[in-house]
Amino acid sequence: MHELALADAVMKAALQAADDAGIDRIQRLVVKVGELQQIEKDLFEFSLTSVLAAQDPRLSGAKFDVEEEAVRFGCNACGREYGRDDASLGDDAEQAEAIHFIPELSHAFARCPSCGSPDFQIMAGRGITLESLEGSGGGDG
C-alpha cells in the first residue's frame, strides 16, 4: 500500500521534528502533497489519522491537514518560474484534456511561457513535505 508507506515516512519525519523541537504531544500536522504525486488522498489521510496515530502516544488526538501543492516549473533556458496554468501547452484540445485528467502529463507537454523552451525542472508540486507541526512540550525535557 503506497499511501501507507508515504504516511509512515511523513510520520517518522514528524516525530523526528517533534524530538528536535522538544514536543511531547503533537497537536497539528500540516502535510503538503504535490499535485504530481499520484496518491489516493483519502487513503493517505486515513493512514495518517487511523493507522499511524494509534502507534505513537505523541500523535494521539493530533489533527492532520493535508494540503495540495500546485506544480511549479523552472525554465532551464531563461530561468522563469511558472505554474501549470501559465505553461504554454499549445492548442491541442486532446492534449489539454489528457493533462486535465492526468496532471502528471503536464510534465511531458509544458513549454515556458516566456521563451517556449520545453527544457525545465520541477520546482514544486512533486512529493510530500511536512509543512508544519504544532504541539506542546513536556516539563522533563
- Between 30 and 122, whose beta carbon lies closer to Zn ion? 122
**Minimum distance from CB of 57 to Zn ion (Å)?**
50
Q: Of the candidates 1, 5, 78, 123, which one interacts with Zn ion according to CB under 5 A? A: 78
Q: Of the candidates 96, 114, 130, 131, which one interacts with Zn ion according to CB under 5 A? A: 114
Contact between 112 and Zn ion per CB under 5 A: yes
- Between 44 and 73, whose beta carbon lies closer to Zn ion? 73
Please identify, among the stretches 24-32, 52-60, 83-91, 110-118, the one whose residues bind Zn ion according to the rule CB under 5 A.
110-118
Contact between 123 and Zn ion per CB under 5 A: no
Of 73, 89, 87, whose CA–CA distance to 122 is shortest? 73
- Between 64 and 73, whose beta carbon lies closer to Zn ion? 73
Q: Report how far Cα 62 is from the mean position of its chain's Cα atoms.
A: 19
Q: Rule CB under 5 A: which residues touch Zn ion?
A: 75, 77-78, 80, 112, 114-115, 117
